[in-house]
């Protein structure tokens, strides 16, 4: 079955450094990969989407890579700020028809001032 793995351990990083979160998927080849941000007790908020034929996508301080050979995505936040502290969810979806979204369990990021 489709499975997404994200590091369940929290990631603590010093303010100003680059945070890198990892997402690995197994047993399938998604057409799209998404990253969401979730604050405690709140709904996930969509951040970025990358397609299988794209290697890298950027949005302001965020960068996502998608390596279909390694079946892995990396999510980078440069010049991290305490306000970036949250749980980040990786998700994938297929092409065509019903694009069912499969979510990972998320990695909690804590940016220390």
Partner 1 sequence: DADVTQTPRNRITKTGKRIMLECSQTKGHDRMYWYRQDPGLGLQLIYYSFDVKDINKGEISDGYSVSRQAQAKFSLSLESAIPNQTALYFCATSDSDSKGKLFFGEGSRLTVL
Binding site for partner 1 (CB under 8 A): 4, 8, 31-34, 41-46, 49, 51, 89, 91-93, 98-106
In angstroms, give the least distance from the CB of 59 to partner 1.
13
Rg (CA), the chain: 14
Specify the residue for token string 């998404």.
Answer: 34
In angstroms, give the least distance from the CB of 58 to partner 1.
17
| Closest of 81, 71, 75 to residue 112, by C-alpha | 81
Whose Cβ is closer to partner 1: residue 10's or residue 79's? 10
In angstroms, give the least distance from the CB of 67 to partner 1.
18
Other C-beta atoms closer than 10 Å to the C-beta of 17 total 13
In angstroms, give the least distance from the CB of 75 to partner 1.
15
Whose Cβ is closer to partner 1: residue 80's or residue 92's? 92
Between CA 30 and CA 70 the distance in angstroms is: 13
Whose Cβ is closer to partner 1: residue 43's or residue 113's? 43
Whose Cβ is closer to partner 1: residue 4's or residue 77's? 4
CA 58 to chain centre: 13
| Torsion region of 106: left, alpha or beta (phi above 0 gives left; psi -120 to 50 gives alpha) | left
């Amino acid at each position: 079955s489709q499975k997404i793995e994200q590091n369940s351990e929290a990631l603590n990083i010093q303010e100003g450094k680059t945070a890198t979160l990892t997402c690995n998927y197994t047993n399938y080849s998604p057409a799209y990969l998404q990253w969401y941000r979730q604050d405690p007790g709140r709904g996930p908020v969509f951040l970025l989407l990358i397609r299988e034929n794209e290697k890298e996508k950027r949005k302001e301080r965020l960068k996502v890579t998608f390596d279909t050979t390694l079946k892995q995505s990396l999510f980078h936040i440069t010049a991290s700020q305490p306000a970036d502290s949250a749980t980040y969810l990786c998700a994938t979806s297929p092409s065509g028809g019903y694009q069912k979204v499969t979510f990972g369990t998320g990695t909690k990021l804590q940016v220390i001032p």
